[in-house]
Structure 1
Amino acid sequence: MLARATVSAVEALGGYAGGVYLRSESPELLRLAVFTGLPGPLFGPWWRMQVNRPYPVAEAYRSGQSVHLADEEAAMRRFPQLMAGLPVPFSSLYEPVTGGPERFGVLFVLRPATPGHAVGEADRELLRAAAEALSAELAALAAAGDPVVWTGDPVEIPPTAPAGGAREAVNRLAQALLSVDREGRIGFANSAAEALIGPGAQGLPGRFLWEAVPWLGHPAYEDHFRGVFLSPVPVHFAARSGPDPDRDWMTVGLYPGPDGVTVTLEPGGEPAPVPDAQARTATGSGTPADRAAALYRPVALAIALTEAVTARQVSAVVTEELLPAFGGRQLAIYLLNERHLFLAWETGFPHGFLDRFDGVSLDVRLPGVETLTTGRPLFFESMQHLAAAYPGIPLDADVGARAFLPLIASGRPVGSCILGFDAPRGFSAEERTVLTALAGLIAQALERARRYDSEAALARGLQAALLPRRLPVLKHVDTVGRYLPGTVGMDVGGDWYDVIETSAGLLALVIGDVQGHGVAAAATMGQLRSAVRAFALSGNAPDEVVRGTNQLLIDLDPGQFASCCYVLLDPGSGRALAARAGHPQPLLRHPGGRTEVLDLPGGVVLGIDPGGDYPVTELWLEPGAVLALYTDGLVEMPGTDIDEGVERLRAALAGARPSPLTETADRLVAEAGSTADRPDDIALLLASRTGGDR
């Protein structure tokens, strides 16, 4: 099913590659399920995609909207991190695959860039139609109980046209030539290639290029091959083909086409000077490809670090970007606290192995400690070298290299970072320089995350102190409130609700939303809540309460604005007077179950207009009726109109049992509360008349 959708979309749009990302067992992760037209191993770093990352696949999935990038300029403007890792000209189209409220994944197509020309409407419709057809099939699977998730590596769909060549003509050439299809599999090798590559060359056709010619599989050359599989621009570079750093060089030419790539090989080349130590390493050739790799991948990491907010997000970014860039398999991050290093993040190490190092003092002689106390990175090409430098140190493996990096931000020690590799390897001078520089970026990001965590803890405490601990218990009226913080970015905002019993025996129901998040929003919320309480307890009418609160916010001038809905209810008669300031319309569920969105005239949000007018509307709540006040976080979803969210909430309230009210509140917030990438807070206040007149 996925293969059919991919191939049809690629052919319909004149593309050379495409695929489908599907949701995985983790709500925060997409996996590449199928693809065609690209050699899989070259694009391994993009097999997994975090849904909150600034990549077009993730945005299409999050927002439910198409993403169309006509060329590299359009991609660089919107997704610089994508172009940092794939700095070549190509066009790409991404279409979400959805089934009603369910998000299954994203269908994408890659094709040659069209500079200066936006993606045409006809092409947009073609991709949309392909995605809708796939959506219907996946929705049918889901309805039948077959979970639509992808848990493993992607499946590669063979290209429809095999690579080949005019055999007699190319066999006359003195230049070695190989024809490679879009999977990276050799379709043809001329006589010169067989002679140059040596014994076993007769078996070249049918084999993957990087298996048949291992020295072309060097990580330093991956960017060149990615470039020609994404762009029609030929590439030439010098590659080291043997152990002698002075003599064993080849000039490699890559000539891309719709069906594959022609590879030419000629002895000789002009490599950059290679230091002796670097020449011995498995990864440092000193060619332009090395410098490209040393530039693009760190740039991608740097961009990603600027978007990470918490220490956990920083660690996750390092895992996703740094390890693949250098071929690492293990990562550990220790943070300094009161002269001890505490394990904050680990991946790839045997379970429990690092526990013995958690909380070690700075007086202990360990490489993770000494790299921080001396400020010098430590590199060990094998575990034997590590054991020789630190006799008696516990080892988790007999082989492998290790890099210990100091995390120092603006001269302040933050912690240390450990990179582990499965096999012995050297570290070129360029790699050591880049890793040391990246360690400084990681330290800065972790230091920023620490400040964020401190501010978030303060904001959470402030919010918890300001929200009502319990709501008043009154005759004829039940009230229930719910609050959920956002899950993206600063996780505390300015949403609030309150229930105030006035001296006249009336009940004031209040809900509000201060723009922004963090300590400032929580503090402004506390001031507004106190102001509303003071005005309400003084016996003011609803419009007077809202006007007074508006003027207070303008006088405070915190640089923020707020929305609010204020309802003054007589529990005995059910008569209510309501005033609204830029807030979502309340819902009213009648005793028979019919639920409507109220149409209350209102004024502008608080804090904008000193002369704002807030008209009052009269309502009646019969016994058994439920009034729902809520903030926009409950009804807003990325990629959908807020009216759709209000309608979903109205339908949910209509379908809920009238009692108990706590179950109704839990049902209304359940769906929104399960969303992993919810950007806004949620506040909900329900009031139900249980008796009285009428």
Structure 2
Amino acid sequence: MAGPASGPELLEHALAQAMRDTGAGVGAVYLLQPGERVLRLAVLSGVPGDIAAPWARVALGGATPVADALRERRLVWLGSQEELARRYPQLALVLPYPFTLAAAALTTDGREWGGLVLQWSGAHPPELRPQERAAIGDACHRLGRLLRAAADSGHPVVPDAEPRLVPPPGTGASESSGAPAAAEFAERLPGGCCALDMDGRLAFVTASAADLLGADVSDLLGALPWEVLPWLNNPVAQDRYRAAVFSRSPTSFTALRPPDSWLSFRLYPNASGISVRITPIPAARERDRTPSPHPAPPDLTGRAAALYHFMHLAATLAEAVGVQDVVDRVADQVPHGTGARALALMTAEEGRLRIIGHRGYTAELMSRFDGAPLTSDTPAVRCLTTGAPSFFGTFAELKRAYPPAVLQDGMAAWAFLPLLTSGRPVGSLVLAYDRPHPFTPEERSVLISLAGLIAQALDRARLYDAKHQLAHSLQAGLLPHALPSVARLDVAARYLPAGRGMGIGGDFYDLIRLDETTAAAAIGDVQGHNVQAAALMGQVRTAVHATAGSPPGEVLARTNRLLTDLDPGLFTSCLYAHLDLARHHACLATAGHPPPVLRHPDGHAEVLRLPPGLLLGIDPTATYRAREIALPPGAVLLLYTDGLVEVPGADLDEVTEALADRLARAGDLRAEALADTLVHDARECAHRSDDVALLLIQAR
């Protein structure tokens, strides 16, 4: 005998009852499984499954209404597009349609089960009615009891791989006896008619509609329109379809049926599906269309195009690594998506308004506003301090709100948008238009969502800049503040952090004055790019300093034993050179480090092949052999880390020989100028993946 039902079907009746009691057109139940931090969509009603697919799994820690409702044990109510945009900008950009939404937690006796989501059309009042609030509470209580009883019986409700789809209440599947008459009525109407079910499939098509669409009725029935009619597979048609599903409000679009027939589609949705009216666009209007061989749907130049720009901006902002990077990307792309002629990005610093970026405004004009106290009563300051957006379609509207306002920028309309993260303003965005601009509710919602995305990117960028500065400070503290002055030597050093990332690395260099006629030079590279690598680099420098003056092989052997005793889990390459300036020669030993380059006084350069030695920190018994070389006046000894020569896909020996050739051709430059010449290419590479350290020694 089969056991009691334990799947999501247990919840169907309770969800349908909640939708009936509240009048919601869409309902969903999310479940939290033991040991998971993810809410999974279990039961869905009122929208097709493919539309809800992006939200089939919701991270409990994510910024979504149902996650917030369960995590904070409260009812989340979104009564307008603007409120959705302010609180959930990413969600609002994907769903820029007029609707209202409630999300509530499903809990019993302190135990968390999941969440209930209900959605109404945009015609719903912006406030939740008391009877609706009570009905939501009752529904959560019923669902919670069902889930607890199922778990107590040993058969907890587990979501299926795909959410269980159920028809909305009151949409029975039985056919009316008047169906044939209704079909004949539809056939007699001019143009064509069809109907989509809640899955978006064609459930009814008149012969005249099929003729307009250029397909047989038999091919259309049961199919998704954009699958059977490829020319309808475009962003505008699917965007308007989603708008009808979510807003439950009529909408329309036009589309080109190849080769040259323009059709108008009007969509009329309700809880059971969408009725579609199809009419041809008269030839006189066709001539107004762009005579391109492959014209884009006209609507794509409007809101859909703006959304395309904003989604592209969202993707590029995810890659931004600093405040200036965010500012540049916003300034480059936002005007294209909004039609704005100018913009300004602002933050608050020490009680004043600071402009961190602008486009379309002159620097002289921006200087008038930069540094304004946050106590001043201007729309830009009020937006930043209150976190409330404001829109002025004309200067007269701005003047009514701020009587002292004076037109200074020559613009005709403005949007002042707060940049909010975690409910707090981190800055503001001002968009200005050169003509009067009526801001529709839909456009306001999209702009507020855009500001939310920029705020999140700006907040991340400020954190990155702070960490980057910390990395540089740490690196600077571990590297020599200045090289010692050594008679008969002209020296220069350079350190370049990796092009991206935090910039904390393990590359190091050092010059140690031993006495009047001797000195030591060292360079090395600790494996990794993190704080641990930088700390180990400091220990290696200290160990080299402690033994400097001993033969090079002994210095490396002692340092190696210290590192193996510490067992840091990281390996280190190192090259140590003992410089005897009285005898004009040097003695060098290496522990797996790139070979040095020597330029002779006559100008030719060679790569010095030293006896190989094991990396430090691997084998405590490793030994290191040294090589002696002549270092007469006019000779140049170049020590470097592999970031200077490594090129993806290139042979290391070849690029090292190329470095020697560059040193030979650099001419008779002093050490500082010569160092700049050698690191020039590495400095220009913004995406370099490794640090660069260089120590240049000229014998005099």
Does the 8 Å CA contact 1:459/1:492 hold for their aligned counterparts? yes
Q: 2:235 & 2:491 partners in 1: Cα distance?
A: 72
1:269 aligned to 2:266?
Answer: yes
Structure 2 match to 1:627: 637
**1:414 equivalent among 426, 431, 436:** 426
Does the 8 Å CA contact 1:333/1:346 hold for their aligned counterparts? yes
Alpha-carbon offset, residue 312 of structure 1? 0.5
Alpha-carbon offset, residue 628 of structure 1? 0.8
Does the 8 Å CA contact 1:604/1:612 hold for their aligned counterparts? no
Which residues in structure 2 correspond to 1:50-69 (within 5 Å)? none
> Which amino acid letter does the alignment assign opposite residue 597 of structure 2?
L
Does the 8 Å CA contact 1:597/1:650 hold for their aligned counterparts? yes
Task: Give per-residue Cα distances to partners, 1:249-274, cap 9 Å, x unaligned.
Answer: 6631254xxxxxx442134532789x
Q: 1:474 & 1:349 partners in 2: Cα distance?
A: 54
1:532 aligned to 2:544?
Answer: yes
Alpha-carbon offset, residue 462 of structure 1? 3.5
Secondary structure at the aligned position of 2:346 is classed as: strand
Q: 1:341 & 1:559 partners in 2: Cα distance?
A: 48
Structure 2 match to 1:683: 693
Q: 2:576 & 2:524 partners in 1: Cα distance?
A: 9
Alpha-carbon offset, residue 657 of structure 1? 3.1
Which residues in structure 2 correspond to 1:499-518 (within 5 Å)? 499-502=511-514, 506-517=518-529
Q: Which has the larger radius of gyration?
A: 2
What is the count of residue pairs matched by the alignment?
444
1:616 aligned to 2:613?
Answer: no
Q: 2:303 & 2:684 partners in 1: Cα distance?
A: 44
Alpha-carbon offset, residue 596 of structure 1? 1.4
Q: 2:543 & 2:235 partners in 1: Cα distance?
A: 71
**1:370 equivalent among 362, 379, 382:** 382
Q: 1:463 & 1:530 partners in 2: Cα distance?
A: 15
Q: 1:648 & 1:310 partners in 2: Cα distance?
A: 34
Secondary structure at the aligned position of 2:696 is classed as: strand
Structure 2 match to 1:597: 607
Q: 2:606 & 2:532 partners in 1: Cα distance?
A: 35
Task: Give per-residue Cα distances to partners, 1:534-571, cap 9 Å, x unaligned.
Answer: 232xx443334334444545666666554322122322
Structure 1 match to 2:255: 252
Q: 1:237 & 1:659 partners in 2: Cα distance?
A: 64
> Which amino acid letter does the alignment assign opposite residue 612 of structure 2?
G
Q: 1:365 & 1:559 partners in 2: Cα distance?
A: 59
Unaligned stretches of 5+ residues in structure 1: 1-83, 86-173, 176-226, 241-245, 256-261, 274-284
Structure 2 match to 1:280: none
Alpha-carbon offset, residue 524 of structure 1? 4.0
1:566 aligned to 2:576?
Answer: yes
Which residues in structure 2 correspond to 1:162-561 (within 5 Å)? 235=234, 251-253=254-256, 255=258, 262-270=259-267, 296-491=308-503, 493-502=505-514, 506-517=518-529, 521-536=533-548, 539-553=549-563, 561=571
Alpha-carbon offset, residue 415 of structure 1? 1.5
Q: 1:557 & 1:337 partners in 2: Cα distance?
A: 46
Structure 2 match to 1:585: 595
Q: 2:441 & 2:354 partners in 1: Cα distance?
A: 30
TM-score (norm 2): 0.55
Alpha-carbon offset, residue 370 of structure 1? 1.6
Q: 1:469 & 1:481 partners in 2: Cα distance?
A: 11
Q: 2:408 & 2:257 partners in 1: Cα distance?
A: 42
> Which amino acid letter does the alignment assign opposite residue 395 of structure 1?
L
Alpha-carbon offset, residue 328 of structure 1? 2.5
Does the 8 Å CA contact 1:236/1:251 hold for their aligned counterparts? no
Structure 1 residues 525, 271: CA separation in 2 closer, same or farther (over 3 Å shift)?
Answer: farther
Alpha-carbon offset, residue 510 of structure 1? 0.8
> Which amino acid letter does the alignment assign opposite residue 590 of structure 1?
H
Q: 1:457 & 1:247 partners in 2: Cα distance?
A: 54
Does the 8 Å CA contact 1:250/1:265 hold for their aligned counterparts? no
Structure 1 residues 379, 522: CA separation in 2 closer, same or farther (over 3 Å shift)?
Answer: farther
Q: 2:399 & 2:358 partners in 1: Cα distance?
A: 21
Structure 1 residues 635, 265: CA separation in 2 closer, same or farther (over 3 Å shift)?
Answer: same
Does the 8 Å CA contact 2:387/2:418 hold for their aligned counterparts? yes
Structure 1 residues 564, 429: CA separation in 2 closer, same or farther (over 3 Å shift)?
Answer: farther
Query: For structure 1, which segment, 515-524 or 411-420, has the greater mean C-alpha deviation from structure 2 after superposition?
Result: 515-524
Q: 1:310 & 1:664 partners in 2: Cα distance?
A: 31
Does the 8 Å CA contact 1:383/1:397 hold for their aligned counterparts? no
Q: 2:402 & 2:359 partners in 1: Cα distance?
A: 23
Structure 1 residues 394, 535: CA separation in 2 closer, same or farther (over 3 Å shift)?
Answer: farther
Does the 8 Å CA contact 1:331/1:418 hold for their aligned counterparts? yes
**1:651 equivalent among 656, 661, 686:** 661
Task: Give per-residue Cα distances to partners, 1:170-198, cap 9 Å, x unaligned.
Answer: xxxx99xxxxxxxxxxxxxxxxxxxxxxx
Cα root mean square deviation, aligned: 4.1
> Which amino acid letter does the alignment assign opposite residue 299 of structure 1?
M
Structure 1 match to 2:109: none
Secondary structure at the aligned position of 1:353 is classed as: helix
Secondary structure at the aligned position of 1:567 is classed as: strand
Structure 1 residues 412, 462: CA separation in 2 closer, same or farther (over 3 Å shift)?
Answer: same
Structure 2 match to 1:210: none
Structure 1 residues 266, 462: CA separation in 2 closer, same or farther (over 3 Å shift)?
Answer: closer
Alpha-carbon offset, residue 409 of structure 1? 2.0
Does the 8 Å CA contact 2:611/2:627 hold for their aligned counterparts? no
Does the 8 Å CA contact 2:507/2:693 hold for their aligned counterparts? yes
Q: 1:561 & 1:298 partners in 2: Cα distance?
A: 46
Alpha-carbon offset, residue 498 of structure 1? 0.9
Structure 1 residues 605, 445: CA separation in 2 closer, same or farther (over 3 Å shift)?
Answer: farther
Structure 1 residues 454, 573: CA separation in 2 closer, same or farther (over 3 Å shift)?
Answer: same
Does the 8 Å CA contact 1:505/1:570 hold for their aligned counterparts? yes
Task: Give per-residue Cα distances to partners, 1:221-258, cap 9 Å, x unaligned.
Answer: xxxxxx9xxx9986495699xxxxx9996631254xxx
> Which amino acid letter does the alignment assign opposite residue 480 of structure 1?
A
Q: 2:457 & 2:236 partners in 1: Cα distance?
A: 36
Secondary structure at the aligned position of 2:385 is classed as: helix
Alpha-carbon offset, residue 578 of structure 1? 2.4
Secondary structure at the aligned position of 1:566 is classed as: strand
Alpha-carbon offset, residue 636 of structure 1? 3.4
Structure 1 residues 606, 359: CA separation in 2 closer, same or farther (over 3 Å shift)?
Answer: farther
Alpha-carbon offset, residue 575 of structure 1? 4.2
Alpha-carbon offset, residue 324 of structure 1? 2.0
Query: For structure 1, which segment, 546-555 or 364-373, has the greater mean C-alpha deviation from structure 2 after superposition?
Result: 546-555
Does the 8 Å CA contact 2:418/2:451 hold for their aligned counterparts? yes
Which residues in structure 2 correspond to 1:109-188 (within 5 Å)? none
Secondary structure at the aligned position of 2:255 is classed as: strand
Q: 2:396 & 2:314 partners in 1: Cα distance?
A: 33
Does the 8 Å CA contact 2:331/2:358 hold for their aligned counterparts? no
Does the 8 Å CA contact 1:591/1:622 hold for their aligned counterparts? no
TM-score (norm 1): 0.56
Q: 1:632 & 1:513 partners in 2: Cα distance?
A: 8
Q: 1:295 & 1:653 partners in 2: Cα distance?
A: 53
